[in-house]
Structure 1
Amino acid sequence: MSTRILVVQPDTSVPVGALGDWLTEAGATLDVKLAGVDDMPADADGYDGLVCLGGGMSAFDDETHPYLADIRQLLSRTTAAGVATLGVCLGGQLLAAATGGVVRPGPEGPEAGPQLVSKKDAAWKDPLFADLPLMQDVLEFHRDVIDRLPAQATLLASTPLYPHQAFRVGRRAYGLQFHIETTRDIVDAWVARSPDVAAVAKPGAFDADTLDRMHADIDETWRPFARRFVDLAAGTLPPAEDPRRGLPLA
């Protein structure tokens, strides 16, 4: 039986991209819901996993995007229920906000372009992160940051500028500050839409050849990660050992 994954898309400009290909290749069936357009489930009943994608808005832009409160509530419920959950960039920030963390504009400004993030000690024993290399290729493109992790979160990856790059809440909920799902066309559109963010990247960071090399490296690293996420959702990969209890849910 196929593994059913609910994909929440907060912004039309941030589709599931390559991540969707990897998930379906690993045997998942995706149900993509565009926030503000499609009816959003109140919980993940009937699904094996949840993926929340990124967006150009902030995690608490409720006045302009009232559906964000519903997404945070959904992430809170899936985390509490032990559903396999993955938040990417804004999705990771929403997961942090939904479980007691703090999200705010990055005090050192935006982070943009191809980047390496480094595994933390806890990542070597994590079911999704253990097999990743010490340094992982990712794409950064964000203004806001996770300033403080939820109290019961486990830090899994960092950069020198902003340390909270990847984390786990409980045993099956994961947040990424960076992007792994992009294609060259998606990135080109972001650069055109947000030149202020793109301007902080290194010279040539968004050249076609650079993006092609970056996406090839990301594919090599993160395609197996996506397969492990499907296995986690399907129940064939054991979740992380986490003896801590009393997870605060907002």
Structure 2
Amino acid sequence: MSTRILVVQPDEAVPAGTLGEWLEEAGAELYTRLGGADEVPATADGYDAVVCLGGGMNALADDTYPWLGDVRRLLSAAVGSGVATLGVCLGGQLLAAATGGVVNPGPHGPEAGPKLVSKKDAAWTDPLFAELPLMPDVLEFHRDAIEMLPGGATLLASTPLYPHQAFRVGKRGYGLQFHIETTRDIVDTWVARSPDVAGVAKADAFDADTLDRMHADIAETWRPFAHRFVDLAAGTLRPADDPRRGLPLA
């Protein structure tokens, strides 16, 4: 029996990409809801996991994107009920905001291009992060940042510019500030759409050869991570211990 994953895609230009392929490789069946076009359910009932992807909007821009509140409520409900949950970039910010964290425009400006993030001590005993290298390759492409983690959340990875790069909330909730799902075509679309973000990266950051090398390095590290997430959702991978007794609702 396949693992059912609800995928929330807030932005047409930010699809599941290779992350979706890796999840399906591990036996998952994906059910995608596009923000603003498809209804976002209030709970994760009927699904084994929730994945929320990235987007160009602010996590709290409800005036312009009123359905964002529905996404936050879904993420809060999923984490609160122990459903495996993964938020990527905007998805990670939405997860943080939904469970009591603070998201604001990054005070140091955008962060963009191929980067390395550093694992924190807690990551070495985390079921998803333990097997990652000390400094895994990622792609950064964001204006906003997680200023404060939710109460009781566990920090799993950092960069010098923005320290809250990956975190765990509850037993099975994970937020990433960075991207692991991109292809060269997806990144090219973002660079053309958001030159202000792309402009802070190194001069050759988005050259074809650089992107190809980065994506090969990301796949080596994060493809097994995606497979472990499916195992976590399926119940064949034991979750982390959660010291907290409850989570705030969005």
Give the shorter-chain TM-score range.
over 0.9
Q: Equivalent residue of 2:8, what SS?
A: strand
The answer (yes or no) to whether the contact 1:123–1:157 under 8 Å persists in 2 is yes
The answer (yes or no) to whether the contact 1:89–1:179 under 8 Å persists in 2 is yes
Unaligned 5+ runs, structure 1: none
How far is the alpha carbon of 1:40 from its aligned partner?
Answer: 1.5
The answer (yes or no) to whether the contact 2:93–2:175 under 8 Å persists in 1 is yes
Q: Equivalent residue of 1:226, what SS?
A: helix
Q: CA RMSD in A?
A: 0.7
The answer (yes or no) to whether the contact 1:145–1:177 under 8 Å persists in 2 is yes
The answer (yes or no) to whether the contact 1:51–1:87 under 8 Å persists in 2 is yes
State TM-score, norm by structure 1: 0.99
How many matched pairs? 250
Q: Deviations over 1:37-60 (max 9, x none)?
A: 112211111100000000000001
How far is the alpha carbon of 1:244 from its aligned partner?
Answer: 2.8
Q: Which amino acid aligns with 2:236?
A: T
Query: 2:78 aligned with 1:72, yes or no?
Result: no
How far is the alpha carbon of 1:183 from its aligned partner?
Answer: 0.2
Aligned residue in 1 for 2:154: 154
Distance (Å, rounded) in 2 between the aligned partners of 1:38 and 1:95: 19
The answer (yes or no) to whether the contact 1:152–1:247 under 8 Å persists in 2 is no
Aligned residue in 2 for 1:16: 16
Query: 2:136 aligned with 1:136, yes or no?
Result: yes
The answer (yes or no) to whether the contact 1:152–1:248 under 8 Å persists in 2 is no
Aligned residue in 2 for 1:96: 96
Q: Deviations over 1:54-93 (max 9, x none)?
A: 0000001111111100000000100100000000000000
How far is the alpha carbon of 1:138 from its aligned partner?
Answer: 0.2
The answer (yes or no) to whether the contact 1:151–1:248 under 8 Å persists in 2 is no
For 1:157-176, list aligned pairs within 5 A. 157-176=157-176
Aligned residue in 2 for 1:33: 33
The answer (yes or no) to whether the contact 2:114–2:139 under 8 Å persists in 1 is yes
Q: Which amino acid aligns with 2:175?
A: G
Query: 2:213 aligned with 1:237, yes or no?
Result: no
For 1:86-125, list aligned pairs within 5 A. 86-125=86-125
Q: Which amino acid aligns with 2:220?
A: E
